[in-house]
Amino acid sequence: MVMQTALYNSRENMIMKHVKSLFFTILIALLATGSIILMVFLVKGRSGEGSGGYRSPTYFAMDTTLEITIQGRDEKLARQDVEAALQLVRKVESYTSRFKKGSDVWLINEKAGSVPVKVHPETLEIVERSLELSQLTGGAFDITVTPIVELWGFYDQKYRVPTQQEIDTTRALVYYRNVMVDHTSGTVTLARPGVEIDLGGVAKGYATGAVCGLLRNRGVKSGLVNFGGAVGAIGFRSDEKQWAVGIKSPRGDPEDLLGELKVSNAYVSSSGDYERFFIKDGKRYCHIFDPATGRQPTEVMSVTVVGPDSMNADILSTALFVLGPQKGQELLSKFEGYEAVFVDSSGKVESSKGMSKYVVEMKERL
Ligand code: AMP
Ligand code: MG
């Protein structure tokens, strides 16, 4: 991403124009394969490497990367644990992908404005929690933001800045109360044609929590699940220390850290404008939208949330990105046990009060 800054500082240079277009081709190809989505990642050499530790290969799932570290366990068992976890993730992915024909989400969108769609319990749980938190976040988190994400070209990678009129027309479809759930029959109905849901802001969090639950049930006492921007820490490391989780800096090289957290039996989730974005006329446009405006929120570059529930942490990191530091902190105070770090648009780092108990190191500004 640093390359980008360099490119945009030397506009007059004709050669750079070609480099720029090449860069975008590469960027789009990378985005298409999801290979630059890493957000929160393990601090190298500290998290996964202890005696008897097994570190899985990097898998690609749900549009991002998945790595699992298991310690204090026979390697053969640990490999089987990872295999079972991977199967679970593939299952969740097959239910929640909006692209996969026949998935729950695909069917819900396909049947918008017509009949209720019977979904798997996993999908129902994700949709129900999303709606609950839409209400609690005053609509900052809204899974019906989909047509807006589409309008800006984030699904087909044909990025564009829409007109205000296009935004207004599309935004009329965005409202979480357009999603109706019947818990008893296990069905989801969208109020009218054109309404669409996307679980991209929550499904990874769900899957991370589900994988941690599965590993615990299989007897894992010490593990770390690193799923793109969502991390789940089971117990302590085999050396009895807390797990170290590096928070990626929203600017600079991909390896640059904003800070380092120590966690055990907790979840960490990050949302940021560096994850997926395009640049037009020197302005960055990212993949997270304020449902109230149909545009990208402008107050922050990234938000990291730590808390006891994986889905909540994932939803909150997206919602706090929309709300910004001030409103975000107010909202956070209503969620017991959750803390956050914001990097505002000027690069200033702001943390909630209780965050200090997790912080090993944290920059004060970028
Ligand atoms: P995350 O990386 O968890 O913050 O999720 C970002 C993804 O969630 C985007 O790629 C969109 O698919 C979706 N999304 C964008 N804005 C919102 C929003 N305000 N509420 C819910 N989902 C959103
Ligand atoms: Mg999220």
The mean pLDDT of the chain is 89
Residue 281 lies in a domain: no
79 in any annotated domain:
no
Which ligand 1 atom is nearest residue 229's CA? 2
Q: Is 273 in the pocket of ligand 1 (CB under 6 A)?
A: no
In a domain, 182, yes or no: yes
Give the tens place of pLDDT for each residue, 31-50: 433 333 333 444 443 444 44
Does residue 26 fall inside a structural domain?
A: no
Residue 257 is assigned to a structural domain of this protein:
no
What spacing in Å lies between the alpha carbon of 128 and ligand 2's midpoint? 15
Count of domains for the chain = 1
Closest residue by CA, ligand 1 atom 18: 141
Instruction: Examine the pLDDT at 295 and tell me if it is beyond 50.
Output: yes
Range of the structural domain that residue 129 is part of: 99-190
Pocket lining: 318 vs ligand 1, CB cutoff 6 Å = yes
The model's pLDDT over 218-241, given as tens digits with 9 standing for 90+, comes to 999 999 999 998 999 999 999 999
Res 229: pLDDT: 85
% of residues, the chain, pLDDT over 90? 85
**How far does the centroid of ligand 1 lie from the alpha carbon of residue 96, in Å?**
14
Q: Give the chain as a 3 state SS string.
A: CHHHHHHHCCCCCHHHHHHHHHHHHHHHHHHHHCCCCCCEEECCCCCCCCCCCEECCCEEECCEEEEEEECCCCHHHHHHHHHHHHHHHHHHHHHHCCCCCCCHHHHHHHCCCCCCEECCHHHHHHHHHHHHHHHHCCCCCCHHHHHHHHHCCCCCCCCCCCCHHHHHHHHCCCCHHHEEEECCCCEEEECCCCCCCCCCCCHHHHHHHHHHHHHHHCCCCCEEEEECCEEEEECCCCCCCCEEEEEECCCCCCCCEEEEEEECCEEEEEEECCCCEEEECCEEEECCCECCCCECCCCEEEEEEEECCHHHHHHHHHHHHHHHHHHHHHHHCCCCCCEEEEEECCCEEEECHHHHHCEEEECCEC
Output the CA 288–ligand 1 centroid distance in Å: 5
Percent of the chain predicted with pLDDT > 70: 86
Domain contains 110: yes
| Residue 317 Cα to ligand 2 middle (Å) | 5
Task: Give the residue whose CA is nearest to atom 6 of ligand 1.
Answer: 201
Inside any domain, residue 175: yes
Model pTM score: 0.88
Is residue 215's pLDDT more than 70? yes
Ligand 1 pocket residue status of 227, Cβ below 6 Å? no
- State pLDDT tens for residues 77-120: 999 999 999 999 999 999 999 999 999 999 999 999 999 999 99
